[in-house]
């Protein structure tokens, strides 16, 4: 439950970043995507 909410928050942060930085999405938001992907892998492994 908590892990799902954390994953949702991380995904939301990444999506917000891409909306606010459409021209420089890769360099501005890449770190957030990496954090989200790592959390998603750990969530699916459970």
Question: What pLDDT digit, counting tens, does each position of 13-37 carry?
Answer: 999 999 999 999 899 999 999 999 9
Q: How many residues does the chain have?
A: 46
Query: Residue 7 belongs to what domain range?
Result: 2-45
Domains: count for the chain: 1
> Contact, 4 vs 39, CB < 8 A?
no
The DSSP code for 22 is S
Of the CA atoms within 13 Å of residue 20, those in its CB half-sphere come to 8
For residue 46, the model assigns a pLDDT of: 81
pLDDT of residue 1: 84
pLDDT classification of 38: cutoffs 50, 70, 90: very high
């Amino acid at each position: 439950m908590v892990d799902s909410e954390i994953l949702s928050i991380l995904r939301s942060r990444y999506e917000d970043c891409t909306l606010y930085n459409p021209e420089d999405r890769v360099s501005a938001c890449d770190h957030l995507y990496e954090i989200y992907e790592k959390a998603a892998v750990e969530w699916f492994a459970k």
